[in-house]
Structure formats: structure tokens, C-alpha cells
Chain A
Amino acid sequence: MIYFDNAATSWPKPLEVKEAMVRFMEEIGANPGRSGHLLSIEAARIIYETRETLSTLFNVKDPSRIVFTQNATESINLALKGLLRPGDHVITSSMEHNSVMRPLRDLEKKGVELSVVPCSPKGELDSRDIEKKIQSRTRMVVLNHASNVTGTLLPVREAGRMAREHDLLFLVDAAQTAGAYPIDMESDGIDLLAFTGHKSLYGPQGTGGLVIGERIHEKEMVPLKQGGTGSRSEFEEQPDFLPDRFESGTPNAVGIAGLLAGVRFVLKRGVEPIRRHESHLIEKLIEGFKDIPQITLYGPGEVKDRIATLSFNIEHLSPSEVASLLEEEFGILCRPGLHCAPSAHRTIGTFSEGTVRFSLGYFNTIEEVHHAIDAIDHMARSKN
């Protein structure tokens, strides 16, 4: 079996991730930051270490500015709904996932003005097009770091610089890049970084977080939920300090234990070597596909402009037919359709059928890539 659905959830996970979760269940298991006994303290230490390790990965000075969530979607909702108010104007791109588009469309109904900057048919964005949309009430720019449909990298650093120049907040959806592409809160000029644990950080599902940059005053940001935090228990009002303000209720501590092992795995291997391996695989895949005339490829051809996620279609075959055949006849698991990103598919001209998406990860091999090229070549010939 070949797993090419890493953009949805990476699989397999490193051995140390599974071991850390089993160890947590067998030896720790308690509620962090609540009870004060040794198991509760050990659970709290794991959560602390995870914040500190993520701080190293993303260059965050103060680890308390990382708050844990279930996934990037929750992080994006927290950032958008916590900060934007009726009358504010926000700018985003046409390549966004519904994790950004749906909360923004919801906010639009509540009086937030939204501008969606069109991207090229390859999903590329010119940051000058964002600048043209800036007006006096513009509060925030929201961009994905790389598209979950085409793998196109957006110019985050230029957009970050521009956002600072105009004193705007800059939210980055790093669901597809955290762990697979270098991210630096400082030099990328990011104010809010939404990441998920279950993709290129190799943690389990149900883990993620939001990094809240120093330019955000946490008291001005409204939590999505209120509740028990283990702190200030005598008061019925939500704490106003980080990270507790945004972390009510018992966290997914066993998941975070796995995430810690995943982030340590990434730091040990190094983001650059991981990227080199994935870039090599996607380059070979694109090369192989270019020799098959019945295939349409989407997104940038140059690997420097993309991550290891590739969308394509085969003439006279629907994406879902291709995916079914790939699974049944060749043991290749991938994802067909719209990938929760209708706006991105409109941008590249594949709405409403969608595309077939191969998303590669660190554990894929060059042999798997060759096998996939042969499979697609065989399918394209026999159907045309």
C-alpha cells in the first residue's frame, strides 16, 4: 500500500510518537495543571516542554504565547473571531481552505468587510495585489502558507513585511507547512500562526495550536470558550493571561505528548533535510507526469515554489474514478474532489469536479513515486 494523503493527515507516524503516547497512558495519564500530585505535575511538564519545543521550531521568544487547540481550524477561528469586530476590514487570498473562508464568510454577515485577492491559475499570489486592497479600516491579512490543493507556496515573508509597514495584523494558516517548510515568526513577520499537529509535525489528530505574537494584546482577543483552567479558581471570570485565557477545559494531554515527540522528530531530522527529501520526490513525480500527455498538472512546475502536494487530472476520467482505480488496482491511497477549498478550485479552473491530489510526506520513497507514475501512465493509456 502507498499512502499519498499526507496533506490530510500524515501517516505513518514516527515510532517515538506512538511510544510517547503509550508511555503517557501507562505511566502518567493524569490531568495537567489541576491537582498538584506527581502525575498531574508530570503531565503539566509534558505540556510545558511541548510549548518550549514548538517555540524552538517557530522561533517564538515566550512559549506562553503558544496556545493549544484541536487543530488549525480551531486556531484560525480563535484568531479571526477573537480579534475582528464589525466595521473591520480583512484581506485574504482566493486560494484559502474553508478553514479560513467559512469563518470569514460568517464574520462578513456580522459586519466585517472582506476582500478576496485573486490568485493566478497556478495559485500564485502577488503580494502587491494585497497592498492595493488596503484601506483605512483594514485590520488583518490572512494567508495560507501553502495551498492544500496545488501545493503552491504563498509569499508569506513579503506579505508579512507589507503588513508591518501598514500596521496590519498578519495571520498565517500553516496547516500544510509547519514542520515541512521553515517558519520563523520574527523574520516572516507573522503575528498569528495557526498550525496543526497531525500533518507535518507527525503528532496525532486532535492536536494543534495558535502562536499569538507580541503585537497582539491577549486581553483584546476574545476566547472561543470559557471554563476551568486550574488557575484563579476563586474567580468566576475567565483569566486574562496567557496561555490560560484560551485553554479552558482538560487538554488533549495524551495527544500533546505525541505531538511533543513529533516536533522533536522534526527538529532532530531538521526541517531543511525533510524539505529536501519531499522536494526530490515531488520533482520526480512531476517529471514523470509530464511525459504522460493525457495528464493536466496544476500548480507551479518548479519545486522551489511548492510543497510536496500535487493536483492533477486525467483526460476522460473523473477524479473520483481515478482515486478508486488507484486504490483497487494499484494500492495507492489519495484524495479526489474539492479538498474543502472551493475557492482554490475556482481559481485553478477545476470547480466543481475537483482534482486528484497526491500529497507526499517524509516517509514516502522514490520507489513509491516510480510505482505511482507507472500506475497513472497505465491508467491514462488504457482509458484513452
Chain B
Amino acid sequence: MPYGVILCPSTHHTIRAEKKVKENGFSVKLIPVPRHLSSDCGICLRISWEQRETIESLLKKEGVKMEGVHLLE
């Protein structure tokens, strides 16, 4: 199953994303940001690539700021 990652501008939004997505029954994990995606020293949300659209619209509704959604290869 391919994974994707959601990058947020700030740790606050990444943690909020994890909380809101988990509250809605999705299985996700916080992981360090892959170096090839960004030089941030922080974390991002790993999601199932298939669920990316549903999760993205959920997070938009919850006011989570996102910087991008990437396929994790």
C-alpha cells in the first residue's frame, strides 16, 4: 500500500492534523520530514495515499494549514 505525506508549515498544524484525522478514524503516523521533500527539522503526517483526497478536505475544513501532499517513494 503506497503512503503519502502531508507537510504543514508548523508543528502546531502537523499535530492538529494528526489529532483531527485520528478523530475521524483514519490510521496515520507522524514521521520526520523526508530530507528530499524539505529541509525542515520537524515532522509530517504519513497517510495512506489512497485516502489523501478525503483527508485533505477534512483538514481544510478543520483549518489546518498545509504546504503539500507528496507520494512517499
Given A35-B41, A231-B42, A241:B10 Cβ within 8 A: yes
Given A48-B19, A62-B63, A231:B11 Cβ within 8 A: yes
How many A-B residue pairs have C-beta atoms within 8 angstroms? Tell me: 75
CB of B68, distance to nearest CB on chain A (Å): 14
In this assembly, does B61 line the interface, its C-beta being within 8 Å of a C-beta of chain A?
A: no
Identify which of B9, B30, B41, B63 contacts A239 (C-beta below 8 A). B9
User: Is A230 within 8 A of B41, CB to CB?
Assistant: yes
In this assembly, does B12 line the interface, its C-beta being within 8 Å of a C-beta of chain A?
A: yes
Which residues of chain B (20-60) have a CB below 8 Å from chain A?
30-33, 38-43
Q: Which residues of B contact A22 (CB under 8 A)?
A: none
Bound-complex Cα distance A230 to B11 (A): 8
Bound-complex Cα distance A33 to B15 (A): 9
In this assembly, does A232 line the interface, its C-beta being within 8 Å of a C-beta of chain B?
A: yes
Q: Which residues of A contact B30 (CB under 8 A)?
A: 36, 41
Bound-complex Cα distance A239 to B8 (A): 13
CB of A124, distance to nearest CB on chain B (Å): 40
User: Is B19 within 8 A of A36, CB to CB?
Assistant: no
Q: Which residues of A contact B40 (CB under 8 A)?
A: 230-234
Bound-complex Cα distance A40 to B38 (A): 19
User: Is B39 within 8 A of A233, CB to CB?
Assistant: yes
Q: Chain A interface mostly helix, strand, loop or mixed? A: loop
Q: Which residues of A contact B70 (CB under 8 A)?
A: none
CB of B26, distance to nearest CB on chain A (Å): 17
Bound-complex Cα distance A270 to B13 (A): 28
Given A36-B33, A241-B65, A230:B42 Cβ within 8 A: yes
User: Is B9 within 8 A of A63, CB to CB?
Assistant: no
Q: How large is the interface on B (under 10, 10 to 19, 20 to 34, 35 or more residues)?
A: 20 to 34
In this assembly, does A45 line the interface, its C-beta being within 8 Å of a C-beta of chain B?
A: yes
Which residues of chain A (43-72) have a CB below 8 Å from chain B?
44-45, 47-48, 51, 62-64
Q: Of all chain A residues, which has the CB nearest B64?
A: A64
User: Is A231 within 8 A of B9, CB to CB?
Assistant: yes
CB of B14, distance to nearest CB on chain A (Å): 8
Identify which of B12, B32, B38, B39 contacts A48 (C-beta below 8 A). B12
In this assembly, does A243 line the interface, its C-beta being within 8 Å of a C-beta of chain B?
A: yes
User: Is B31 within 8 A of A36, CB to CB?
Assistant: yes
Q: Among B30, B40, B42, find the residue whose CB has the most chain A CB atoms closer than 10 A.
A: B42
Bound-complex Cα distance A136 to B12 (A): 38
Q: Which residues of B contact A230 (CB under 8 A)?
A: 11, 40-42
Q: Which residues of B contact A96 (CB under 8 A)?
A: none
User: Is A45 within 8 A of B10, CB to CB?
Assistant: no
Q: Among A36, A45, A229, A243, find the residue whose CB has the most chain B CB atoms closer than 10 A.
A: A36
User: Is A239 within 8 A of B10, CB to CB?
Assistant: yes
User: Is A63 within 8 A of B12, CB to CB?
Assistant: yes
Given A41-B30, A48-B19, A33:B13 Cβ within 8 A: no
User: Is A244 within 8 A of B10, CB to CB?
Assistant: yes
In this assembly, does A34 line the interface, its C-beta being within 8 Å of a C-beta of chain B?
A: yes
Q: Which residues of B contact A232 (CB under 8 A)?
A: 9, 40
Given contacts A230-B40, A231-B11, A241-B9, 17 further A-B contacts (CB under 8 A): A33-B42, A33-B43, A34-B41, A35-B32, A36-B33, A37-B32, A41-B43, A44-B11, A44-B43, A47-B12, A62-B63, A63-B16, A64-B12, A230-B11, A231-B40, A244-B10, A244-B12
* 13 cross-chain CB contacts under 8 A: A41-B15, A45-B15, A48-B15, A63-B16, A64-B10, A64-B16, A230-B11, A232-B40, A233-B40, A234-B38, A239-B9, A243-B10, A244-B12
Enumerate chain A interface residues (CB-CB to B < 8 A).
32-37, 40-41, 44-45, 47-48, 51, 62-64, 229-234, 239, 241-244
Enumerate chain B interface residues (CB-CB to A < 8 A).
9-16, 19, 30-33, 38-43, 63, 65
For the complex of A and B, the 4 pairs showing the least CB-CB separation, nearest first, are A36-B32, A33-B11, A48-B15, A234-B39
